[in-house]
């Protein structure tokens, strides 16, 4: 059986960047930087990037490329004998991606579609109150106030799922690669336009200063470090088997290390740049309202869906254009990431059960859509979204990340992968990488994980903790069941790229 592949290396890079650049870069990063010490936040962020982000990204690319499979398929082969235990880890990643993130991620993209359509003149955006507009979408109430969702929002969410279905259904080259080749360049153009426009607004400089002025005292707060590490995981789409499967579609000779560095730097650079226009606009809002900058920024969800729209409304001519461009930017960034979340799961099911891409995608999307309605319900939805998002960020990603390092670094052996990278790339990768993957990264992550747990239990309500953990445990159970059934498509377990000289001792090792 032939495995699908990217048409070009650029196609792969764009898809990896497309997965990495997502809603998180726009509504999370700037807000996080601002809240956690401005320019000083870049220190933990960059440390996290080099200590965890880049080493794990290289690790995922390398194993995906060498064994040419989705996460369950590569973990299954780490050690035969102890079979399903390792395989289950692969399933935990892709199940969390699909049913832990994708299900609410599509709702947030749905909000973007809803706002976008409003900007085309369906609503007079200069007259609405953004707070009320958003309040109407999410409703009010607690975890158990289940009220019917806004009908138009539901339609928007259906559109998002259909787009997901369409591109993943079409396969790697005709679907994923094509989508990213359209979305990524458009995204870049839009960001440049938004940036130029926002810099011309009065008060822009004030906002940018608030974003960047370093508050070094924040660096003593462990929460700031925890935020930086979980943000790196989320933003680089690590731990969930996404980068593994994307690398499995690469040709034999590929530049693994270089692609990982490029993906990471483009993604983080993008976040940093987006921060400028986001804060220029916030500075403008502060100027118009005659308030200090820190009085106009609300929570991160509010930033994109309340603060930003309010600022746009106050602009002069062409405000609809700015509004449309901003939500298009969120839409393109979000969609390209959601495709990767879906693909990670679909390809895993295909690899194991040998089902067709078309059928697998249709079934997965249907189940995902039904689950996502929960997050769109007025009242309850936003609470569930917040709790599940928090659980995924604080323990889902980090815990799977630790286990991935341990299994691939120790059981599979990082040095085997190091040789593979060297031969495939034609340039060696230093010993530092092996040390990182085996010792440094998992140790640092363990500290972060434990702290995340303590923090959650101290600060959050019991329902919040139970919903988050409950969701997480159900996913683990699903992963367990998926790993226990019989491996039908054994051909998928035989794929791989290897090189003759890979097993011989090389001069550098
Ligand atoms: N990286 C994407 C973002 O920043 C989200 C994402 C997370 C995608 C995890 C895939 C996996 O928004």
The pLDDT score that the predictor gives to residue 127 is 76
Residue by residue, DSSP assigns 222-264 as: HHHHHHHHHHHHHHTT-SSSHHHHHHHTS-SS--HHHHHHHHH
Residue 254 — pLDDT band, cuts 50, 70, 90? confident
Q: Ligand 1 in contact with 238 (CB < 6 A)? A: no
Highest mean pLDDT among 156-165, 196-205, 320-329: 156-165
The pLDDT score that the predictor gives to residue 393 is 83
Say if residue 220's pLDDT is above 60: yes
Q: Average pLDDT for residues 231-260, to the nearest whole number?
A: 91
**What percent of the chain has a predicted confidence (pLDDT) above 70?**
96
Q: Ligand 1 in contact with 22 (CB < 6 A)? A: yes
Say if residue 28's pLDDT is above 80: yes
Say if residue 37's pLDDT is above 60: yes
Q: Average pLDDT for residues 458-487, to the nearest whole number?
A: 91
Residue 417 — pLDDT band, cuts 50, 70, 90? confident
* Pairwise pLDDT comparison (303 vs 155), residue with the higher score: 155
Q: Which atom of ligand 1 is nearest to the CA of 340?
A: 10
Phi, psi of 417 (to 5 degrees): -70, -35
Report the alpha-carbon distance of residue 33 to residue 25 in Å, rounded.
11
Distance 22 CA to ligand 1 centre (A): 6
The pLDDT score that the predictor gives to residue 342 is 97
Which residues contact residue 434 at a Cβ distance below 8 angstroms, ignoring those fewer than 6 apart?
409, 414, 415, 418
Residue nearest ligand 1's atom 6 by CA: 237
Q: Which atom of ligand 1 is nearest to the CA of 234?
A: 7
**What percent of the chain has a predicted confidence (pLDDT) above 90?**
59
Give the relative orientation of helices 414-425 and 54-67 as an angle to the nearest 10 degrees.
80
Q: Average pLDDT for residues 421-436, to the nearest whole number?
A: 84
Q: What is the mean pLDDT of the chain?
A: 89
| Rg of the Cα atoms in the chain | 22
Q: Average pLDDT for residues 466-480, to the nearest whole number?
A: 94
Residue to mutate, 20, 300, 397, ligand 1, most ligand atoms under 8 Å from C-beta = 20
The pLDDT score that the predictor gives to residue 504 is 54
Residue nearest ligand 1's atom 9 by CA: 237
CA dist list (Å): 31 to 24, 365, 391: 10, 31, 19
């Amino acid at each position: 059986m032939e495995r699908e592949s990217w048409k070009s290396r650029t196609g792969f890079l764009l898809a990896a960047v497309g997965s990495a650049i997502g809603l998180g870069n726009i509504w999370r990063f700037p807000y996080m930087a601002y809240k956690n010490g401005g320019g000083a936040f870049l220190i933990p962020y960059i440390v996290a990037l080099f200590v965890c982000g880049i080493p794990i990204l290289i690790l995922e690319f390398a194993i995906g490329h060498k064994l040419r499979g989705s996460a369950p398929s590569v973990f299954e082969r780490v050690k035969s004998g102890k079979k399903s235990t390792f395989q289950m880890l692969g399933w935990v990643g892709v199940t969390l991606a699909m049913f832990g993130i994708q299900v609410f991620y599509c709702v947030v993209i749905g909000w973007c579609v809803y706002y976008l359509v409003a900007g085309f003149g369906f609503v007079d955006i200069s007259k609405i109150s953004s707070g009320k507009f958003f309040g109407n979408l999410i409703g009010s109430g607690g975890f158990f106030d289940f009220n019917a969702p806004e009908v138009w929002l539901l339609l928007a969410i259906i559109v998002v799922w259909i787009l997901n279905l369409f591109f993943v259904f079409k396969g790697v080259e005709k679907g994923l690669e094509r989508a990213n080749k359209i979305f990524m360049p458009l995204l870049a153009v839009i960001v440049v336009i938004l940036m130029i426009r926002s810099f011309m607004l009065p008060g822009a400089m004030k906002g940018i200063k608030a974003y960047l002025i370093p508050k070094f005292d924040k660096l003593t707060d462990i929460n700031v470090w925890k935020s930086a590490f979980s943000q790196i995981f989320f933003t680089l789409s690590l731990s969930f088997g996404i980068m593994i499967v994307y690398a499995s579609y690469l040709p034999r000779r590929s530049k693994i290390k270089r692609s990982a560095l490029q993906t990471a730097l483009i993604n983080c650079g993008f976040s940093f740049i987006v921060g400028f226009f986001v804060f220029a606009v916030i500075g403008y809002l502060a100027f118009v309202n005659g308030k200090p900058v820190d009085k106009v920024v609300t929570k991160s969800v509010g930033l994109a869906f309340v603060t930003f729209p309010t600022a746009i409304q106050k602009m002069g001519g062409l405000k609809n254009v700015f509004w449309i461009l901003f939500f298009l930017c969120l839409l393109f960034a979000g969609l390209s990431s959601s495709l990767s979340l879906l693909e990670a799961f679909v390809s895993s099911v295909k690899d194991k059960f040998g089902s067709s891409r078309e059928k697998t995608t249709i079934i997965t999307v249907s189940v995902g859509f039904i689950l996502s309605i929960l997050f769109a319900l007025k009242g309850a939805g936003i609470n569930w979204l917040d709790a599940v998002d928090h659980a995924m960020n604080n323990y889902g990603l980090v815990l799977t990340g630790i286990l991935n390092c341990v299994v691939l670094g120790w059981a599979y052996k990082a040095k085997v992968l190091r040789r593979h990278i060297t031969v495939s790339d034609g340039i060696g990768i230093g010993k530092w990488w092996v040390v990182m993957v085996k010792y440094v990264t998992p140790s640092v992550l363990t500290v972060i994980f434990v702290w995340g747990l303590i923090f959650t239990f101290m600060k959050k309500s019991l329902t919040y903790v139970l919903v988050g953990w409950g969701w997480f445990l159900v996913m683990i159970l699903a992963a367990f069941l998926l790993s226990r059934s019989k491996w039908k498509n054994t051909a998928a377990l035989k794929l791989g790229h290897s090189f003759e000289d890979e097993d011989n001792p090389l001069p550098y090792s």
